[in-house]
């Protein structure tokens, strides 16, 4: 599995830049990204996540339309513009909100855009774990909300483990303080560890094998939770 990484010097992803890239599954967006053009990722049918940095202010029309595998998509709190039908056809993501039809027969995206901006208003720890720059200190401060779930039954640990900017220190802090979150399954039956295994983690400098990742995961937990535990992963 490979994450496509766009250099941090890039600030704009222009019109139809990745249109129809059916093999694109994971992408690490630039930390300084500001603009995503119309249909930039349209019909990327295998794309599973898009964590937008806080610098993004503009998302164009149909930017992620028909990304039918998309399950992780979070917009910055201060987003200025979200275009039309940005997520139309992304059914695995839109589990609690749908596009409606206007009187003129066009698709109404107001409700979806409002949902995007407000979906974690009552889940600040989830919102924090969407960030590309969260610190272990923030994890510690929000850990009392560690097992809360969102509309996809995901904890903040699910989100952090799927985030391509994940760091070992943050995940370790979470597991040390709330190991019970490690086994929680989301609406697709996925645990945080399963998302981490799919991620292109970069905090292992040498041995990045599957067995090393599993050993590291167990080692992060408090000693009393390590013995006899079996995790579903893959």
Burial classification of residue 145, based on how many CB atoms lie within 10 Å of its CB (0-12 exposed, 13-18 middle, 19 or more buried): middle
How high is the pLDDT of residue 207? 64
Q: For the chain, which residues score pLDDT lower than 70?
A: 1-2, 201-202, 204-208, 225-234
**Element containing residue 169 per DSSP (H, E):** helix 168-177
What is the set of domains in the chain, with CATH numbers? 1-119 (3.80.10.10), 124-226 (1.25.40.20)
Residue 191 neighbours by CB under 8 Å, 6+ apart: 158, 182, 183, 184, 185, 231, 232, 233
How high is the pLDDT of residue 230? 47
- Tokens matching residue 124: 């600040």
How high is the pLDDT of residue 208? 65
How high is the pLDDT of residue 132? 81
Question: Residue 101 and residue 229: Cα distance in Å, rounded?
Answer: 49
Question: Residue 76 and residue 166: Cα distance in Å, rounded?
Answer: 17
How high is the pLDDT of residue 55? 94
């Amino acid at each position: 599995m490979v994450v496509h990484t766009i250099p941090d010097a890039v600030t704009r992803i222009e019109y139809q830049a990745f249109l129809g890239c059916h093999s694109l599954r994971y992408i690490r967006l630039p930390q300084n990204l500001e603009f995503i053009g119309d249909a930039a990722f349209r019909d990327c049918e295998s794309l599973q996540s898009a964590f937008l940095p806080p610098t993004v202010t503009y998302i164009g029309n149909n930017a992620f339309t028909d990304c039918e595998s998309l399950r992780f998509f979070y917009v910055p709190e201060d987003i200025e513009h979200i275009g039309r039908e940005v997520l139309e056809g992304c059914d695995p993501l839109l589990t609690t909100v749908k596009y409606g039809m206007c009187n003129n027969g066009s698709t109404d995206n107001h409700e979806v855009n409002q949902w995007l901006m407000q979906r974690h208003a009552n889940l600040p720890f989830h919102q924090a774990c969407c960030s590309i720059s969260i610190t272990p200190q923030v994890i510690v401060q929000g850990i009392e909300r560690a097992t809360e779930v969102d509309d996809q039954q995901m904890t903040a640990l699910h989100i952090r483990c799927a985030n391509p900017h994940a760091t070992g220190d943050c995940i370790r802090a979470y597991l040390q303080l709330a190991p019970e979150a490690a086994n929680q399954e989301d609406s697709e039956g996925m645990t945080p560890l399963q998302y981490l295994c799919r991620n292109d983690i970069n905090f292992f400098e040498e041995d990045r094998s599957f067995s090393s990742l599993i050993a590291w995961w167990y080692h992060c937990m408090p000693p009393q939770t390590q013995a006899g535990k079996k995790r579903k992963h893959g």
